[in-house]
Structure 1
Amino acid sequence: MRVCIIGGSGHASFVFRAMSADPTIEVVGIAPGSEGENTAKFMKEAEKRGQSPKYYDDYRVMLDELKPDIAAVNCHFGDHAKVNFEVLSRKIHLFGEKPLATTMEELAVLEKEYERAGVEVAAMLGLRYDPAFYTAWHAVQDGKIGEVRLLTAQKSYRLGSRPNFFKNRVSYGGTIPWVGSHAIDWVYWFAGEDFISVMAHHSAMHNRGLGTMEMTGLCHFEFTNEVFGSVNIDYLRPSTAESHGDDRVRAAGTKGVIEVRGGRVYLISADQPGTQELPLMQPPAFFAEFVKQVRGEGQCLVSAKDSFRVTEACLRARESADTGKMVYF
């Protein structure tokens, strides 16, 4: 399976992590997707794995010359939509960093091009394949907490050092679409319902000179069937914390409550007293599952429908935070 990587600003490492599961994955070309972007880390990773991708200055020339099966796009976030469009317009399967677009206008154009192209698309919502979240979601699917009624999710990061493109809304897109996308995906995925409305807030205060980049965000979603979900997002995790991130989700249902925290899964069930810690399942490699989907051998957990819908939810939440008004889907 021939793969081109465009950009060096996101999580194209999913491609390399899948190579042990699928040795047919070959990175044949690498190019920046944004001006001044450094892709050296992916070139080094490919070479470390015995591969020799060709470097291009222009990703469009790369796509035209190499004609890959899949393009993994992870450039500056504000450029996602235009690069994704170039991929889809060539009828190349898209494995794209989230969010797939940073404006509603771009998203509409991209979705229309996807429908025309007839290819596979998955956003890099790879935490669906994290062992703890994968295990918890399967427990919910198995009815361990009954009917899901309420969800809360958290993404908390150390600020660390951030590239210059994070300082500008146009190139960054906002903290809700970037950091919040995973948590928004979790409440959507675990709920098994569709979005109705969102009320959100965000703040760039105390961002240590990072321009318009928001440090905190809070989103409240209403789903179909009177299910509610909240998401809190921050870059306030101290540098002294034992890990870079603190990812959590809690789902409350009619028969119990399940929580993911600290990489573990805890279940309180009406069927059994006390709190159970569930053994973690071992999920398959995300990109290897997408490759299977491209071959027609199955479906990965992140569908094109989910990829576009979660992107829309991120952008509508950002709109609500910008305007101070509730936004409807």
Structure 2
Amino acid sequence: MKNTSLNRRKFVKDTLAGAAGIAGLTTLPLDLLAAPNKIIVSEESTTSGEVRPSLPPKIKFAVIGLNHGHIYSQVEAVIRGGGQLISFYAKEDDLAAAFTKKYPQVKKARSEKEILEDKAIQLVVSASIPDERAPLGVRVMRHGKDFMVDKPGITSLEQLAEVRRVQKETKRIYSIMYSERLENKATVKAGELVKAGAIGKVIQTIGLGPHRMNPKTRPDWFFDRQRFGGIICDIASHQFDQYLYFTGSTQADVVAAQVGNVNHPQYPKFEDFGDAMLRGNKGMGYIRVDWFTPDGLKTWGDGRLTILGTEGFIEIRKNIDIGGREGGNHLFLTDQKEMRYVDCSKEPLPYGEQLVNDIVNRTETAMTQEHCFLATELALKAQQQAKSISI
């Protein structure tokens, strides 16, 4: 047991201080963590760090549906990983014009059908209106192509059953980009540390996903839970993914859930608050999401993740460290001996490359299909079971 503990500490130390791009490693006094006079920087710096060069193209891909701005980070992840973007289609002229400005070399297809019937295209990427994503994914898979979609990738249990059936029949990849894990450098680093045994056996995750609403910038579908699936289905899907990933649970039950529209009566079909409690075969979880990020915060949301283990805990401050360090991608690790801080801003993001390799090799290195579907299933069940609240 002593040797195991020593080996774990050595591995964690090497991981924290190694050549993987850690910018800082510090043992912090508690009063520094709570210091109120640190500068909080602008939103742009939360994504600072070295940009990994794109790999030579291994696959050709296309885009259908530009209704959420996440499409740009989805496209960039695939390009970084070795994808060549060759065409796109959008029904909305203004969205198409903006996309063409960003990617002027990419052909605008005349229709969705043109892309689906192009045999050179191996992957379709989408950030269409949420309730249209699963039906599109079914069409994509039936045309022999893999599908990568923004969250929520599925907005009802009925859609989930159909997607599962078609995916099983076609053997195509249906990947939902849970970007708060897959495209967050501190969360990627936390995965390495947890797998190395840095905090022992994981007991619970606590995931907080606050968002800024910006109602004047939102389309009509944003305020209709039938279109976006409800707040737990939508933005909490990130936290369900992280719960499964860090606990290693392969089965879980929704113990309790609640949703409400507590402060936006002008949008009667909207939900601005939701939370849920989970119990799985390898750990517990608590999730809270909301649309109450105040304008005074220098980013869209103070997203946090706490991972409790038998030998310590990790806290991730994804976008900002309020009253503390500049930028985003902050990781705090506390074990039986000390407390450390890790700046993860230069960590690589492997999801895009892993997905491209999975498409080429027919593997599951980016995410297993069952994990992808189970995270969505739990979110959908929590949304369906949630008690409606008002205060």
Task: Indicate whether the TM-score tops 0.5.
Answer: yes
Q: Provide the secondary structure at the position in 2 that maps to 1:282.
A: coil
Aligned partner of 1:128 in structure 2 is: 181
Q: 1:61 to 1:297 in 2, by over 3 A?
A: closer
- Paired position in structure 1 for 2:192: 138
Match of 1:255 in 2: 311
For residue 178 of structure 1, report the CA deviation from its aligned partner.
1.3
Q: 1:52 aligns to what? A: 106
Looking at structure 2, the residues matched to 19 and 191 of structure 1 have their Cα atoms a distance apart, in angstroms, of 27
**Aligned residue identity for 1:178:** D
Work out which of the residue numbers 63, 75, 78 in structure 1 matches 2:128. Answer: 75
The residue aligned with 1:327 is none
Structure 2 CA distance, aligned partners of 1:208 and 1:29? 41
1:170 match: 226
| CA offset digits 1:149-205 (Å, max 9, x no partner) | 121110011111321101222211111111111112111111111342111001112
* 2:286 aligns with one of 217, 230, 235: 230
Indicate the structure with greater strand content: 1
Of residues 355, 378, 382, the one that matches 1:290 is 355
Residue 276 (str. 1) matches residue 335 (str. 2):
no
Structure 1 residues 229, 19: CA separation in 2 closer, same or farther (over 3 Å shift)? Answer: closer
1:96 maps to 149
Does residue 192 of structure 1 match 2:192?
Answer: no
Offset of 1:14 from its aligned partner? Answer: 3.1
Which of 67, 72, 79 is the equivalent residue of 1:9?
A: 67
Offset of residue 106 of structure 1: 1.2
Q: Distance in 1 between matches of 2:232 and 2:258?
A: 9
Higher relative contact order structure (alpha carbons within 8 Å, sequence separation ≥ 6) = 2
| Equivalent residue, structure 1, for 2:85 | 27
Q: What whole-Å deviation, never above 9, does each CA across 1:241-282 have from its counterpart, x for those lacking one?
A: 111111111111111111101331111101x23x21134261
1:202 aligns with 2:294: no
- Which residue in 2 is equivalent to 1:85? 138
CA shift at 1:28, angstroms? 2.1
Stretches of 4+ moved more than 6 A in 1? Answer: none
Percent of matched pairs sharing the same residue? 21
- Alignment partner, residue 301 of structure 2: 245
- Per-residue deviation, 1:298: 6.2
Aligned match of 2:209: 155
Alpha-carbon spacing, 1:80–1:29, altered in 2? closer, same or farther (3 Å):
same
Unaligned runs of 5+ in 2: 1-58, 321-328
Distance in 2, matches of 1:103 and 1:128, equals 23
| Contact 2:259–2:388 (Cα < 8 Å) also in 1 | no
The structure that has the greater radius of gyration is: 2
1:301 pairs, out of 352, 366, 377, with 366
Partner of 2:20: none
State the distance in 2 between where 1:299 and 1:78 align: 26
Which range is displaced more, 192-201 or 277-286? 277-286
The number of equivalent residue pairs is 315
* Cα distance in 2 between the residues matched to 1:111 and 1:86: 13
The CA RMSD over aligned residues, in Å, is 2.2
